[in-house]
Amino acid sequence: MTSPWQEWKKKNLERQETGVVRPWDVVNPETEYMAPEDSKARLDICNSCEFLNALHQCQKCGCLMPVKVTLKHATCPIGKW
């Protein structure tokens, strides 16, 4: 029998592997981050996207992109990166 904590950790790992991220992943000590140059490349793509608003928020997923691009397992909701 697994504990609720073990189930939560398993579910959290599955989300990371599929590119689904949550806001609290930023403060999760087990979160993997991109190298700064790779994050910048992702953000450059976002900056040229028609779905990025003036607040640097994606209109498709609602994420703040300067933060989301740093998360290794994050993906673009329309497949640009």
Nearest partner of 58 among 32, 35, 6, 66, judged by Cα: 66
pLDDT at 40: 98
Considering Cα of 47, then 42, then 20, then 22, what sign does the dihedral take? negative
- The CA distance from 3 to 47, in Å, is 43
- The CA distance from 43 to 22, in Å, is 18
- The CA distance from 9 to 59, in Å, is 29
> pTM score, two decimals?
0.73
Q: Identify whether the C-beta of residue 71 lies closer than 8 Å to the C-beta of residue 43.
A: no
pLDDT at 22: 77
Q: What is the mean pLDDT of each successive set of 10 residues along the chain, which is 81 residues long?
A: 76 63 81 95 98 96 94 92 94
